[in-house]
Amino acid sequence: MASLDNHKLLLDNLTTAVIQLNSELALTYLNPAAEMLFACGANRAIGHSLSDLFVESDDTDNAWQQAAREGHPFTKRETRVILPNGNQMIVDYTVNPILTPGGYSLVVELQARDRLLRISKEEELVAQQETLRTLVRGMAHEIKNPLGGIRGAAQLLERALPEESLKDYTEVIISEADRLRNLVDRMLGPRKVPDFSAVNIHKVLEHVFALISAETGPKIKLIRDYDPSLPDMTGDQEQLIQAILNIVRNAMQALQESGMENGRITFRTRAKRQFTLGSERHRLLCQVDIIDNGPGIPKELMETIFYPLVTGRASGTGLGLSIAQTIMHQHHGLIECKSKPGKTVFRLMIPLEHKK
């Protein structure tokens, strides 16, 4: 009896989710990690069918039944399971049959992959952005040096021209050189070091809300969905306004260009607790979602939308999202995007406490 208690104690303290099924694929045990994974108490789940806990998006009923009937173990990687509430998650699981007097019972180990896949994707995105910033800085240096020479030569030429009418040509050279220099400066993103202080994120959003409301009038419906319990955060208010304004303005322009009559943009805030961002775990994060019901972002652009000069609009510069992502990195945060026709979500994840 003491041995059984020890084994249960070990299973109850594992971070890996473990469930046990009888030969009829009915639940006989869930450890606390499994209860947390499936948001379901053991007392309520025991005795119910496995399908009451989750079903798989692909049909693997035969594999489960064969394991219970013939004792064949199997493993599945990154399989999508659907919970009773409709939510989905990606898990790895291993099924180990154990011969008992009543037939084979199944011990199943499950690990959620969503979080690990998300962390891996975030780390890759951060690394890509850092590489891109280094490349852009190098390119900017190489571009601005000859531009300065071209501009200076045009100014000298302008002074030596015999006819006043010829100065129109040198003015074009100077103005175009200035335009290219300004474009390169914008590609580099914010040039000043962030001025960190206590910031109320809802004050930032209200400022953007007022600006966009003035630009769109009644043509696009703006919706607030705030979590009033969010505390002040540490950040640069002006830069945060710039980052969020760039995202909201993109949504506004996409809706305007689509010609929709019922366009909506939602400003939503939520708190995220004990959340891992990249490789760092944060006690509390501020999550800001900018949601629009526009046509969505083309799939071929989704992997590169945060790169400078990448845009899906004929009139776009492709710098707004790149600058917004740079500002988020300066705040040790990140912007994610999910898009499909009728719903595009830009999610800003910002630590509430700035770590130097």
SS in 3 state form for 7-35?
HHHHHHCCCCEEEEECCCCEEEEECHHHH
Residue 196 near residue 354 (C-beta atoms within 8 A)? yes
Q: Which helix H or strand E contains 249, and what residues bound it?
A: helix 237-258
User: Does position 294 have pLDDT exceeding 80, yes or no?
Assistant: yes
pTM assigned to the model: 0.59
What percentage of the chain exceeds 90 in pLDDT?
19
User: Does position 1 have pLDDT exceeding 50, yes or no?
Assistant: no
b/e code 325-340 from CB counts within 10 Å (16+ = b) = bbbbbbbbbbbbbebe
Please state the rounded mean pLDDT for residues 182-208: 80
- pLDDT-derived band at 292 (thresholds 50, 70, 90) equals very high
Instruction: Dump pLDDT digits (tens) for 222-251.
Output: 999 999 999 998 899 999 998 999 999 989
| φ, ψ for residue 20, nearest 5 deg | -125, 140
* pLDDT at residue 315 in the model: 52
Classified as helix, coil or strand, 168 is helix
Instruction: Dump pLDDT digits (tens) for 26-74.
Output: 999 888 888 888 878 888 888 888 888 888 877 667 888 888 888 889 9
From the list 335, 211, 340, 350, the residue with the least C-alpha distance to 270 is 350
